[in-house]
Amino acid sequence: MSQASVTAVPNPRQIRIPLREILPWAIFASVLAVLILFFVSTEAGAVELFATDGFVHEFVHDGRHLLAFPCH
């Protein structure tokens, strides 16, 4: 007599993440993305909010051209 092997199949469950746990991280990521976009696209290009003697402009210069933002 041979015995058949039985394998247990896991029962997947959905993971529910409440909105109140995601919302602070979504707001933080949005603010961070807007700040990065500001520094790459606008700061020391057409507008200079911080007087940095061109440091910010030179720091993001290649990224600005990579994203097709004019700066000259």
Instruction: Give 61-72 pLDDT, tens digit per residue.
Output: 777 777 777 766
Rounded CA gap, 57 and 41, in Å?
Answer: 10
The token pair that represents 32 in the structure block: 């961070």
pLDDT above 90 coverage of the chain, percent:
18
pTM above 0.75, yes or no: no
Cβ atoms of residues 59 and 36 within 8 Å: no
pLDDT tens digit sequence for 18-28: 889 999 999 99
Number of Cβ within a 10 Å radius of residue 30: 10
pLDDT-derived band at 14 (thresholds 50, 70, 90) equals confident
pLDDT on residue 13: 87
Residue carrying the six token digits 């700061």: 43
pLDDT on residue 26: 95
